Amino acid sequence: MVGRIVIGLAITIVCFAVAGRRFFWLSRLIRSGAPAKRPYQGLRKAAEAEVVEVAGQKKLLQWTIPGLAHFFTMWGFTVLLLTIIEAYGALFNQNFAIPFIGHWSAVGFLEDFFSVAVLVSLLVFTGIRIKNAPARKQRQSRFYGSHTGAAWLVLMMIALVIITLLIYRAAQENTGHFPFQGDWWAFASLGVAKVLAPLGTGVNSVIENVALLANIAVITGFLVFVSYSKHLHIFLAPINVGTSRRPRALGGLDKTPDMDMENISEDTVFGVGKIEDFTWKQMLDFSTCTECGRCQSVCPAWTTDKPLSPKLLIMGLRDNMFASADRLLSKDSGEAAEAETLVPTVIDPDVLWSCTTCGSCVEQCPVDIEHVDAIVDMRRYEVLMESRFPQEANLFLRNIENQGDPWGLGGAKRLEWTEALDFDVPVVTSSIPDGVEYLYWVGCAGALDDRGKKQAQATARMLHRAGVTFAVLGPKESCTGDPARRFGNEYLFQEVAKANIETLKEVGAVKIVATCPHCFNTIKNEYPALGGEFEVIHHAELLAHLVNNGKLVPGGGYSGTVTYHDPCYLGRHNRVFDEPRDVIDAIPGAKQVEMGRCREKGFCCGAGGARMWMEENIGKRVNMDRTDEALGTGADIVSTACPFCMIMLDDAVQASGKGDEVRVMDISQLVEESLLSGSAPSSAPANASDDA
């Protein structure tokens, strides 16, 4: 008995000391990051995220079979904490049972049920890893680039935890020390006990001692291994999820840095150039990565053969963080200054500039890593500190700065789209006219691009038909700054954003409707950090409200099949999924068919992250990949609710040679087409959207 206690405690003390030292070191390393300027989501939302994402495993369960296997493994280890208490109790007292609950049949059943469930889950994981081995599938495997050797070791160690547990419990049954003696609710333990029973009490006593110590050794050894491996997520995931600001929608970027260009010193750093420039939350992100590859498998850049893998990017930053630990934990600022920049030494430039900021990686990540913010932070450094970026971007950045739009057409052309309308649109000069409900933010594409103009015109006509009063800024409107910000030119973004906010305040804007999801997202989610608080609605939401309330009734002028493409900045970033579909469903002759990748899993058109104005020279074009999927549905109309998506998808349809068979249309155009020969009210009462 004494020897068993000594050995068990010695193993525990050594392993806890090694793991504790490692966790303390990790804590110091993560806390060495810069302060995280992030709004606290509140205790209620943090608790909700823990319940839904950690306890409920919501994101993982979307992957059904592996999700269920992970669910049972996670909850298995949670329930089996009871067996760890029993194991340590048995070190000191062979007849130990947890006070009050130690002999309950329900407890014995739960322990054995989850022991078996974990073993079955391990078999599932084994099959998944064999089937999707990188050696077989190369880039198509979500495990490509992951530390697969460590993963196999983890599976083996988890199996050993369960196997040694069942063996010592079975031996306890045969020696009379089992807390659930003879209780067949503990079915797995008693089943193994039957196998061991013929060996006799003496041998079972030895097995009991050896298996008990082996169980403690494997558990504590596993703790040490976890502290040095990618499986840190077992402990860090709940912390990362609880400190995430995005339990649901992605919204705006994480932080709005100070851009005081008048007071730049030698120590001023814009963006992230070295690992120490990341915030503690981003360093926590890097440490939490499970290398599961779910982000990689949905990334539009990776799936079209570009070098960007969100997983490999995070792994590279994590490896650099660990390699730089001595410097990060040192007080020697001179040493820190000698570090090489992350780009191109750690992150290849083609990796950095391939991102469309679509947010698929963040949406799918089961531990809430925020890849997009890290990418934009590094872009900021490259643009503002090093002037290292694709030079083709100079034109659209200069156009935004000098002309107020990426095309460089200027404010004088911002009202040309209204010439095709058969009614007058009020143009705001000094203030929004009395009786006007909405300021219509047309956006650069809606006002200046030929295809975008058609979307803006159709939207205006549908709002007018429904009796919604609105006015436009015309020449006063300017680019919101979204492409500049996603590209990394934070200074330009803030300059144009502040000017727009001042204009909106001067004219007394309160309610704004926008047709471009990028404008919508920027004004709604990013302008508030700069002092611009406005009520913003997307035209898809407003049209859905008008249709659902009978103030806009589609006609019977269209009959055919429609597939809807979710714009990333409307769908994932702002959770507007149902409203556009409601509008299409209200058209009598429209039959909707969904693409395989839709809603939260929608695939990018390729225009985001300022990619709209850059050439795509590596791999397959993202818009072609998405359009191939849309064409595969057999739909005669690909509908969307974003001018950028409309342009990208239309280009791809034309390039596919399907331009005569398939049209790309905004939902407002689709409603308008249904009215061409259908019957519907020609107008609705003024202020028809008062309750929108």
pLDDT tens-place string over residues 288-308: 999 999 999 999 999 999 999
How much is the pLDDT for 233? 86
Evaluate whether residue 248 is within a structural domain.
no
Share of the chain above pLDDT 90, in %: 70
Residues 659 and 559 occupy one common structural domain: yes
Share of the chain above pLDDT 70, in %: 94
Per DSSP, which regions of 334-469 are E strands?
438-441
Any bridge partners for residue 440, and if so which? 513
Contact of 203 with 250, CB cutoff 8 Å:
no
Final residue belonging to a domain, choices 208, 243, 278: 243
Residues 378 and 514 occupy one common structural domain: no
Evaluate whether residue 179 is within a structural domain.
yes
Tell which residue, 189, 197, 194, has the closest CA to residue 169.
189
Tell which residue, 152, 160, 106, 101, has the closest CA to residue 126.
152
What is the per-residue pLDDT across 136-154, written as a single tens digit (0 to 9) for each? 888 888 889 888 888 899 9
Measure the CA angle with vertex 138, ends 134 and 139; round to 5°. Answer: 115
Number of structural domains in the chain: 4
Evaluate whether residue 24 is within a structural domain.
yes
Residues 369 and 438 occupy one common structural domain: no
Contact of 240 with 285, CB cutoff 8 Å:
yes
How much is the pLDDT for 247? 52
Residues 465 and 502 occupy one common structural domain: yes
Residue 223 gets which letter from DSSP?
H
Burial letters 420-431, b for 16+ CB under 10 A, else e: eeeeebbebeee
Burial letters 432-461, b for 16+ CB under 10 A, else e: beeebbbbbbbbbbbbbbebbbbbbbbbbb
Final residue belonging to a domain, choices 545, 580, 607: 545
Q: pLDDT band at 248, cuts 50/70/90?
A: low
Least confident of 247-256, 294-303, 484-493: 247-256
Residues 216 and 80 occupy one common structural domain: yes
Residues 614 and 508 occupy one common structural domain: no
Measure the CA angle with vertex 240, ends 312 and 517; round to 5°. Answer: 75
Evaluate whether residue 256 is within a structural domain.
no
Least confident of 57-66, 182-191, 280-289, 469-478: 57-66
Residue 339 gets which letter from DSSP?
P
How much is the pLDDT for 39? 59
Residues 234 and 291 occupy one common structural domain: no
Query: 526 lies in which domain range?
Result: 394-545
- Residue identified by tokens 């990051």 is 33
pTM for this entry: 0.90
CA distance 84 to 675: 69
Amino acid at 45: K
- Residue identified by tokens 């000391």 is 17
CA distance 172 to 43: 44
Residues 199 and 317 occupy one common structural domain: no
Measure the CA angle with vertex 649, ends 648 and 652; round to 5°. Answer: 90
What is the per-residue pLDDT across 35-65, written as a single tens digit (0 to 9) for each? 887 656 667 777 877 788 888 888 888 888 8
Q: For the chain, how long is the longest CA-to-CA vector? A: 98
pLDDT at 496 over 70: yes
Residues 513 and 558 occupy one common structural domain: no
Q: pLDDT band at 680, cuts 50/70/90?
A: very low
Residues 460 and 584 occupy one common structural domain: no
Residues 368 and 407 occupy one common structural domain: no
Any bridge partners for residue 538, and if so which? 514
Residue 195: both structure tokens together: 């196998």
Residues 168 and 92 occupy one common structural domain: yes
Measure the CA angle with vertex 460, ends 456 and 466; round to 5°. Answer: 150
- The percent helix, strand, coil of the chain (3-state, each to 5) is 60, 5, 35
Evaluate whether residue 320 is within a structural domain.
yes
Evaluate whether residue 681 is within a structural domain.
no
Residue 77: C-alpha distances to residues 50, 62, 436, 456, 655 (Å): 17, 21, 60, 55, 53
Number of Cβ within a 10 Å radius of residue 10: 10
Strand order in the sheet with 470-471: 470-471, 438-441, 511-514, 535-538
Residue 563 gets which letter from DSSP?
E
Evaluate whether residue 634 is within a structural domain.
yes
User: For all residues of the chain together, what is the average pLDDT?
Assistant: 90
Phi and psi at residue 53, in whole multiples of 5°?
-90, -35
Final residue belonging to a domain, choices 510, 545, 580: 545
Evaluate whether residue 436 is within a structural domain.
yes
Burial letters 65-103, b for 16+ CB under 10 A, else e: ebbbbbbbbbbbbebbebbbebbbbbbeebebbeeeebe
Residue 335: both structure tokens together: 């040493």
pLDDT at 678 over 80: no
